[in-house]
Amino acid sequence: MRQKNWRLVIVGAVLIVLAAGFFLYMMGMAPKSNDPKTLMETVGTVSGGVIGLALVMIAMGLIGKKKAV
């Protein structure tokens, strides 16, 4: 039997919320930028990377580790 690591799952979920919030916040800032297209490409890359990391954390937390016998 495996034991789930709920800390990893919770941190992964929080990271997804923070990355989405950062993306939405920067969408409001983009019109004020000198180069909004490049800004949003960079923000999208960073947000996507954080969300990818968060999904891996959630998966690892749900898989868990073997209990010590």
Residue 15 pLDDT: 97
The pTM (predicted TM-score) of the whole model is 0.87
| Residues 19, 16: Cα–Cα separation, whole Å | 5
pLDDT tens track for 27-36: 999 999 999 9
The pLDDT score that the predictor gives to residue 41 is 96
Taken in order 44, 45, 46, 48, is the CA torsion positive or negative? Answer: positive
Q: What is the pLDDT of residues 8-46, one digit of tens each?
A: 999 999 999 999 999 999 999 999 999 999 999 999 999
